[in-house]
Amino acid sequence: MNFVANTLPPRLQSGFTLIELSLVVLLSAFLITGMVQIVSAASGSFRLQDNQSEVMENGRYAIATMSKSIRRAGFSPEPWNPAFTRDGLMPGTVDRISSRSDRLILRSWSDTNCYDHQNPVRDENGRPAFHIRESLFDLNSVGDLAHTCRYGPDDAELITQINHNGFVRNAESFQALYGEDTTADGLVDRWVKGSEWAAADQVLAVRIGLLLKSSDPVVEKTTQSFGVLDHTHQSRADGRLRHLFVFTSVIRSNQR
């Protein structure tokens, strides 16, 4: 009987040595650690971008919403008709209702309600009737930029349709200044705090400072100081991304 000789080298016949197995395990550990770091970095980058997008989108929405109310403040469909008073900035507009927030209250005549739906009440021509629409902006207790809106034919019949609802999350500071024309030349002569103007109809513009933060901790945990118009805000070291939005809107009905 013939036997075939085993021609494999002794090293291959004996399998891996302990040293070789240790090297394989060590190399695998290095590879796994590297992959975990890459995945972690990619995840962190995605969270940062996602939170940046959130803050910027919230800021754009806040600017669009408040600018719309500021521009139409004091609007009257018939300026010659005393039945349509030209109230714009309301007396409840004040500075520092809390350590983080001013309060802005605006009023205009509108044929659409707080939800921008046409008024079901019709005038003598069959068109939607103009009623008073009043909007209040400030920060609520949970840190949202909040909106209250009332609508009705007169002061006695104003109905609250939106009751202090937060429409922009994670707001840390809301401040407002008012551009007053004291010389009747159509130009802003000074910027004053809420209710410090000589007459509401002399206020030509409103400047808003709004500090927003991200939902997640995505940056280094350090305190920051922000100048929000006339107010200095000190943020917490919580790792939240923060962005300050400052914008100015004119009150069209007070333009000369």
Model pLDDT, residue 254: 84
223-255 confidence digits (pLDDT tens):
999 999 999 999 999 999 999 999 999 999 887
Q: In sequence order, what are the residues at sequence separation of 6 or more whose Cβ sits closer than 8 angstroms to the Cβ of residue 228?
A: 173, 175, 209, 210, 211, 244
Tell me the whole-structure pTM to 2 decimals. 0.82
- pLDDT exceeds 50 at position 22: yes
pLDDT of residue 27: 73
- Please give the Cα distance from 186 to 201 (Å, whole number): 12
Q: What is the DSSP letter of 235?
A: P
